[in-house]
Amino acid sequence: MRGPHDVGGLDFGPVDPAEHELTFWEKQIDAIRAVIGAKGLVTTHENRRTIEQMGNDIYDTLNYYERWTAALQRQMVDKGILAQDEIDARVAQVRKRLADTGELELNAGSN
């Protein structure tokens, strides 16, 4: 059975190899993963396995760094380092701040 990450040989059309400049939040998640890995809290293999276990529905709707973020959130909760309610409260604070400053356009479809 293919996992959502296993797309070799499937017809998805051409791959756009163009580099893109990383956004601030992408740089942040990359740095957080590096620190957590250096501290031995989560290994690269655990990160890959968590991402591969997301399932097609989730995997296909997230981009590369969104997958990293979702995997890291799951790992921190599973390991008891953070509680889901702590994460939810912080996300709500950040969304409110960004909405108040106009940096985040919230629409009816946003979570």
> pLDDT tens digits for the chain (111 residues)?
545 555 555 566 776 767 778 899 899 999 999 999 999 999 999 998 999 888 888 988 998 899 999 999 999 999 999 999 999 999 999 999 988 888 776 543 444
> So what's the pLDDT on residue 37?
93
> So what's the pLDDT on residue 41?
94
**What class is the 24-101 domain?**
mainly alpha
Query: In Å, how far are 11, 57, 63 from 14, measured between CA atoms?
Result: 9, 22, 17
Cβ atoms of residues 75 and 47 within 8 Å? yes
Question: Where do the H-state alpha helices sit in the chain?
Answer: 24-38, 44-52, 56-61, 64-78, 84-101
> So what's the pLDDT on residue 110?
45
The Cα 14–Cα 66 span in angstroms is 22
